[in-house]
Amino acid sequence: MNPALDTPLTRLLGCRYPVVQTAMGWIADARLTAATSNAGGFGFLAAATMSTAELDTAIAKMRELTPQRFGVNFHMFQANAVEVIERVIANADRVRAVSYGRGPDAKTIKRLKDAGVLCMPTVGALKHAQKAVEMGADVITIQGQEGGGHTGSVPTTLLLPQVLDAVKVPVVAAGGFHSGRGLAGALAFGAAGIAMGTRFLMTAESPVPRETLAKYLAVKDPAAIRASTAMDGLPQRMIDNPFLLKLESGGLLNRLIVALGSAWAWRAHTGMTVGHMMKTFFAALREGDSAIQTMMAANAPVLIQRAMVQGRPDEGVLPSGQVAAVIDSLPAVEALIAQIVAEAERCLAALTRSPDEVRDFAPRIATTPDFVRATEVL
């Protein structure tokens, strides 16, 4: 293996390759996460959309399916956040890291770290990365605007060097990655690895129904995978589909009606009491969210569930990074990671050729048909 693939990330997480599978709600289940960890990457369970009982089952399944360590994702506004943290600490022999967006306070972060669990938040802005490190983050994942789901406004190629210059912890690059060339490029920037969501969503081990996966395979134009604020008032990158277009054209009243229905359905799924819903509502307002955004917050998990669990892609939403437009296959996770690593090693080897090798290589390039055709055009 190329020494460049042995990074601070692989040493911290205990994985072979610096490739992280992100925690996509309803998608990153035990089967997909275990497949990632078994193939040498590092997978995160999506506990943010799991009940406590479902998380218990998922962790037990992970213990059965892989001897490797793995991660758990959550956010503090979910009804069972405290219970998730307790489960993580109780299973710290296998749960190596937690990921989150709006995460725990400094006291909880210290508690996790004291238990030997790494804190690895995902951020989409420089100031959020700096704040996360101040609160105790061990690793930062930055997601550029190309990424799926909630996303920021800064492209990965601009955000990554900004954060690398500003923090002293390992940085993982996300948003737009799907290949070995991307991994080599991220390492060349100075990142400790890459994180991918959409690429793992589009694999053989993905639990997403085939009817929904067909929608991902069918999209060929990156412009058809765009950021919209229609679901909860915050930019989320999704594939265009009839439901999203209807939501965007329906006006604010229609969106609020949809949101109220989603909130009630989400309450039933999570067991959240009305009192907890109100507490969460006011906590979000204190965080700076508008009342409308807070009311619409339940839309995402419920509408994503329709497409990703129930197999009704035209009646829900399809969160996706723009890379879906250049993906045309559903490989097994093991094959995918092996392909990414092999391609990255070829790219890294090309970067370290000696001057003599470059001089020898150049004439061979100059005689290839593609190069000859290109020079004839010029």
How is residue 78 written in tokens?
């979910």
Classify residue 367: in a domain, yes or no: no
Answer whether residue 257 shows pLDDT above 80. Answer: no
Supply the CATH number for residue 32's domain.
3.20.20.70
Classify residue 243: in a domain, yes or no: yes
What is the rounded average pLDDT of the residues 47-62?
97
Domain that residue 301 falls in: 218-323
User: How do beta strands 70-73 and 42-46 pair?
Assistant: parallel
149 shares a domain with 69: yes
What's the angle, vertex CA 300, arms to CA 297 and CA 304, rounded to 5?
165
Classify residue 20: in a domain, yes or no: yes
- Amino acid at residue number 55: L
pLDDT score for 25 = 94
Classify residue 267: in a domain, yes or no: yes
Q: What pTM value is reported for the model?
A: 0.84
What's the angle, vertex CA 205, arms to CA 195 and CA 310, rounded to 5?
100
What is the rounded average pLDDT of the residues 153-158?
96
186 shares a domain with 83: yes
How many domains would you assign to the chain? 2
75 shares a domain with 191: yes
Answer whether residue 69 shows pLDDT above 90. Answer: yes
pLDDT score for 233 = 78
Classify residue 274: in a domain, yes or no: yes
pLDDT score for 266 = 43
183 shares a domain with 108: yes
195 shares a domain with 257: no
Among 3-12, 173-182, 184-193, 276-285, the range scoring the smallest mean pLDDT is 276-285
Classify residue 254: in a domain, yes or no: yes
Answer whether residue 265 shows pLDDT above 80. Answer: no
Neighbour-count burial of 130, counting CB atoms closer than 10 A to its CB (0-12 exposed, 13-18 middle, 19+ buried):
middle
Q: pLDDT for 363-372, tens place per residue?
A: 554 555 544 4
The larger pLDDT score, comparing residue 268 to residue 210, is at 210
pLDDT score for 128 = 96
Among 33-37, 73-77, 157-161, the range scoring the smallest mean pLDDT is 73-77
- Amino acid at residue number 50: M
Q: How confident is the model at residue 146 (pLDDT cuts 50, 70, 90)?
A: very high
Average pLDDT, the chain: 87
| CA R_g for the chain | 21
Classify residue 355: in a domain, yes or no: no
Q: How far apart are CA 93 and CA 89, in angstroms?
A: 9
229 shares a domain with 202: no
pLDDT score for 290 = 47
Q: 311: phi > 0 → left, psi -120 to 50 → alpha, else beta; which?
A: left
201 shares a domain with 231: no
Answer whether residue 126 shows pLDDT above 80. Answer: yes
pLDDT score for 6 = 98
pLDDT score for 244 = 87
337 shares a domain with 191: yes
Q: At what angle do helices 180-189 and 333-351 cross, to 10 degrees?
A: 50
Main-chain dihedrals φ then ψ at residue 294, nearest 5 degrees: -65, -40
What's the angle, vertex CA 378, arms to CA 348 and CA 374, rounded to 5?
45
pLDDT score for 102 = 77
284 shares a domain with 197: no
Q: pLDDT for 74-118, tens place per residue?
A: 999 888 999 999 999 999 999 999 999 878 999 999 999 999 999
- Amino acid at residue number 257: I
- Amino acid at residue number 235: P
Q: 193: phi > 0 → left, psi -120 to 50 → alpha, else beta; which?
A: left
227 shares a domain with 177: no
Q: By percentage, how much of the chain surpasses pLDDT 70?
A: 80
Classify residue 297: in a domain, yes or no: yes
Answer whether residue 359 shows pLDDT above 80. Answer: no
336 shares a domain with 275: no
Q: pLDDT for 339-356, tens place per residue?
A: 999 999 999 999 877 666
172 shares a domain with 100: yes
Q: pLDDT for 272-322, tens place per residue?
A: 555 544 554 445 445 544 444 454 555 677 888 999 999 999 988 999 999
Answer whether residue 122 shows pLDDT above 90. Answer: yes
Q: How far apart are CA 136 and CA 107, in angstroms?
A: 9
